[in-house]
Structure 1
C-alpha cells in the first residue's frame, strides 16, 4: 500500500506503480465501456488483473499520455488502448512481452529519414548505448535534382534559403552604403553561379559532417530507400536496386515532406520547385512564383533582391496559418520594392516556347472569381504551393500504421507514438504539429531519451518561435490575432502595436514606418503575452529572446518594466503603449 502522508494524487501514482510491478497483464477499465469489454474477451487467454479506471485516469494521462480506457500494461510495459493492444495481440507482441521472450532483432532502433530530426534521434539513441541505423534516400525531382544526407533544411530549405536571403540583403546594404559615404565606381552586379557554388560547397561540407558524426557515434548509415515488409522488418533498396532486409525492436519515421504539384499540364516538364532552385545551374531570369506559402514569399523575395523580375501568383491569402495582419504587411513591403503580385489566379497550363538555361515558358492562368483567363511569358516558373508528407510509399499498411489519407500525415500521441506501439514518428509528417527543423530535432532527442534513457520529458509544441525570411523579416511566437480572438474572445484580448523606423534605415531614407510590432495579451490572465509579432530586420534574433520570455509567462507589465537597449529595434516592445482598440496613430516620429 502507498505510504501515509501523501497527497491523493501521490497515493494514486504510488498505487498504479505498485499494480504495474505486481501484474502480468494489467487493464485499467470502466465496466460500461464497450472497448474494455471487447478487449477483455481477447485477453482471457492471457489472464489479467482488472482495475476500475475512472479515479486513475488523470494520473495515467500524466504517466502514459493516454486519457482513455482501456489502458493496458503487460509485464511492466505500457501497451496502450484497445486498438494498440489488439494490434499487439495480432503481431504476437503481447505473448512476447508476457513471457519475457525477446525477438533477436538486428537493431534496437531503425530511423527512416536522414533529416535533422532523424539524425538527432539516432545519434541520441546510440549515445545511450543502443544499436541504431539511419536510412536516407532522396528520390530525384522531375528535373533530376538530388542531394546528400541532412534532409530538407540542410539541402533545400533553411540553410540555402537563409544564405541566398543574406545575398539579397547584401545587395540592399550596397545601395545603402553610398549614403553612408562608401564610394565605388564599378558597376555592381550579381553572379548567380558564384553564389550557387559557394552555397552548395557549404552544404556539401555539412553532408560530409553528418556522415562523420554518424560514424563516430556508431550509427549505421545506409543511402537506401526503406519500406516496411512486416511490422518489425524493412526492405532497403539502394540506387543500384540492390535489396537488403533489416529488423528492429523500434522504428522512428522521420521521412519529412516534398513539394506539392498542382496537377496541371506541363508543370513537371517545365517548372521547378524549391528542391531544384538552390542548385539551379543558371540564373532563373524572369520568374513566376506560384503560391503564397512562406517558401513562395521567401524565394520570390530573395530572387527580387538579386535584381530579377519576379511575379508571385496568389490563389487566396498570403502565409496561411500566420497572423494575416503581419502577412499582408510583409507582402505589401515586397510589392513596394518591385515584386509583382497576381492575385486570385491559378495556373492551368505551362508550355515550353524555347529551350535554354533559362528557356522561355508560357503560363496560362484563370481567375478564381470570374471566367477571366490570362497568359504570361517567363524564363522560370517556381511551384511553391505547399508540401506533402513522404509516407505513401514506405509500406506503412504492412506495419499497420494509421495515416490521414487526405494529407499523408501521421497521427501520434503526445509521446510521438503511432497506433502501432513500437513505431514512432517525428518532424513534418506529424498531424497537427509545427513543421520546423528545431522542433524535429528536439522531438527526436527527447524521444530517444524516453525510449532508451528512462526519461519522461516530452517535446513541448506550444509557443515555438519562428521567422519567415521575407525581404522584411517576420518573426512570431504564440498565437495569431485571429487565433487569440477565436480562443479568448475579442473582449478578452488587448493588442498593443506600433510602427517603427530602424535607425539603420534613416540615413538611406528608406522604409520609413514600414516595420511593425505587436503583442497580443490575455486580459483574463494578468495581460499575459499570448502572441508576439515583429516585422523588421533581424527578426529571428529578436524573436528568439522574446520566445524564451514567453515560455516563462511574460506579461505586459514585465515588458513595461524592462529597460530597452537603445538604439535597437527590439526595444520597441518595452515602450509599446497604444492599443489597436484605441485607434490612435502608431507612426513613430523619431528615436
Structure 2
C-alpha cells in the first residue's frame, strides 16, 4: 500500500463513512475523508437527530395541556419557534465538532472538498488535486426526492425545514412515509394547519396496517388533514407570497409552505462512478455484494447510497463490517433480518419483523396477539387516545416473528423487544416473564 497516498479514501463523512474511517484507522490504515458540507451526515446535521429534538419540543404542546389534570396550573404558555430552532442548530454544531474530533483523534485527514472517482484507485478533488488510495469507499448517502411538476422549486424539503424563519400557518406535506408523518405531527403540535397528500391511499407502507390505520385515525382527531390519491399538477406563487397548489382528484388549495417528503434517492450524480465501471441500479444506487464491494475490486460503498436499508444504524454496521473485512482481517457481513425501525409520529410507532400480512403470506399458519388499551397517563389526562400492541407468532411453535407497537415511548420499548425477535424467542418466553407494573411495556408479557 506504500505506492498509494492512502490506504483508504472515503467520500462522504456521514454515519457510515465516519465509522468505517475511524475503525480502518484503528486497524492501522492511513485514511483520508472528503466531505463537501459538514462532518456527521444527514442523520446528525439535517435528519434524525435534529428532528428528534423537534419531536421533543412538539410533545410539550400536549404535555402542558395534560398537566392541568395533574394539578399543574400553567397560565398562557407561549411557544417561540426561533428559540427551539436556534438551540437545535447549536447542538448540531456541537455534534459536528464531536464527529470531527473523533476523526482527528484517530489520525484521519479531513478534506473539506467535494471528491469524485477518476480511477479504480484515484479520486479528484474540487480544486483539481488528485489523490490515490488502495481502496475507495463511497458513503455519500441520499438526498430528498423532488417532484417533477411546474413550480416545484417553490417547495422545501426536510433539509430546509430546520432553518425556517417562522412557522408556516398552513403547510402542505407531500408523502406518506416516516419523514412526512413525523413532520406532520411536529408542525401540527406547533400550531400549523397541516395537510398531508400522497399519491396512493397507503400510509407508512411496510408497517403493520392495523397500526397505520390507527395512527391515521389519531392524526385525523388531532386535526391533521389527509388527501390521498393526489399528485402534484403544479405550484404557483400568489402576489401575497402564499402558494396555490393544484393536484389530481382534489380541489386546489392555498398554503404558506409546501414540503416534499416523497422519498430519498442515492446521491451518486457527478461522482464519475460510471466512468470507472461501477454498476448502478435503476435509482442510481451502487450495487454491492454482501461485503459492500462494488463491481470494481478496489471500490466499496456503504449506507443509503446502496439503497438497501436506509437507516443510520444500518449504515454504521455496514461501515464497521467494511473496515473489519478489509483492514481488520475479520470478514464481516451485516444481517438485514429483523431490523427494527420507528416512526416518531404523534404518537410514535415502531416495529420489528414481519407484519401480519407478511406473516400470513410467508408462513400461512400464524397466531396474532393484540392489546388495545388506554395508557394510564391518558386516562387521568382525560385523553381518549389509545395504544395498540401486536405480536405475530408462527402458528405451531409460537416463535415470535414480529412485534409492532403504537403508543407513547413505543420505540424505547421496542428496542429490547427486538432482541427477543432476533433471538427467535417464543410467546411462552414472554409469558414466563413477570411484568413490571404499572407500565405500558408490561402489555408485551400479558398478551392474550
Mark yes or no: TM-score above 0.5.
Answer: yes
* Equivalent-residue separation in structure 1 for 2:296 and 2:360 (angstroms): 37
User: 1:332 aligned to 2:217?
Assistant: yes
Larger radius of gyration: 1
Task: Say if 1:232 and 1:399, in contact at 8 Å, map to a contact too.
Answer: no
* Equivalent-residue separation in structure 1 for 2:260 and 2:169 (angstroms): 15
C-alpha displacement at 1:103, in angstroms?
Answer: 7.1
Task: Say if 1:227 and 1:235, in contact at 8 Å, map to a contact too.
Answer: yes
Match of 2:167 in 1: 283
Q: Helix, strand or coil: the match of 2:148?
A: coil
Match of 2:352 in 1: 477
User: 1:392 aligned to 2:269?
Assistant: yes
Per-residue displacement from partner, 1:439-491 (whole Å, max 9, x unpaired)? Answer: 111111121011111112322221111110000100111112222222212xx
TM-score by length of 1: 0.74
C-alpha displacement at 1:387, in angstroms?
Answer: 0.7
* Equivalent-residue separation in structure 2 for 1:396 and 1:288 (angstroms): 36
The two structures, once aligned, show a CA RMSD in angstroms of: 1.3
Per-residue displacement from partner, 1:130-167 (whole Å, max 9, x unpaired)? Answer: 001111124xxxxxxxxx22111111110111111111
User: 1:571 aligned to 2:442?
Assistant: yes
User: 1:435 aligned to 2:310?
Assistant: yes
Match of 1:521 in 2: 393
C-alpha displacement at 1:285, in angstroms?
Answer: 2.3
Match of 2:248 in 1: 366
User: 1:533 aligned to 2:404?
Assistant: yes
Task: Say if 1:354 and 1:361, in contact at 8 Å, map to a contact too.
Answer: no
Per-residue displacement from partner, 1:312-355 (whole Å, max 9, x unpaired)? Answer: 11221111222222222212211111101112111211111146
Question: Unaligned 5+ residue runs, structure 2?
Answer: none
- Count of residue pairs the alignment pairs up: 447
Task: Say if 2:167 and 2:192, in contact at 8 Å, map to a contact too.
Answer: no
Pick aligned residue for 1:458 from 330, 333, 346: 333
Q: Helix, strand or coil: the match of 2:357?
A: helix
* Equivalent-residue separation in structure 2 for 1:483 and 1:408 (angstroms): 28
* Equivalent-residue separation in structure 2 for 1:486 and 1:253 (angstroms): 37
Structure with more relative contact order (C-alpha pairs < 8 Å, separation 6 or more): 2
Per-residue displacement from partner, 1:196-251 (whole Å, max 9, x unpaired)? Answer: 000000001111111111111110111211111111111111xxxx2211111111
Match of 1:235 in 2: 124
Match of 1:314 in 2: 198
Match of 2:235 in 1: 350
Q: Helix, strand or coil: the match of 1:496?
A: strand
Per-residue displacement from partner, 1:43-64 (whole Å, max 9, x unpaired)? Answer: xxxxxxxxxxxxxxxxxxxxxx
Task: Say if 2:236 and 2:245, in contact at 8 Å, map to a contact too.
Answer: yes
* Equivalent-residue separation in structure 1 for 2:239 and 2:388 (angstroms): 44
* Equivalent-residue separation in structure 1 for 2:45 and 2:195 (angstroms): 25
Task: Say if 1:477 and 1:531, in contact at 8 Å, map to a contact too.
Answer: yes
Match of 1:562 in 2: 433
Matches within 5 A, 1:74-85: none
* Equivalent-residue separation in structure 2 for 1:551 and 1:182 (angstroms): 43
Task: Say if 2:59 and 2:189, in contact at 8 Å, map to a contact too.
Answer: yes
Q: Helix, strand or coil: the match of 2:51?
A: helix
Q: Helix, strand or coil: the match of 2:231?
A: strand
Match of 2:373 in 1: 500
Match of 1:189 in 2: 78
Match of 1:223 in 2: 112
Task: Say if 2:55 and 2:186, in contact at 8 Å, map to a contact too.
Answer: yes
Question: Unaligned 5+ residue runs, structure 1?
Answer: 1-101, 139-147, 368-372, 578-591
Task: Say if 1:231 and 1:398, in contact at 8 Å, map to a contact too.
Answer: no
Task: Say if 1:416 and 1:426, in contact at 8 Å, map to a contact too.
Answer: yes
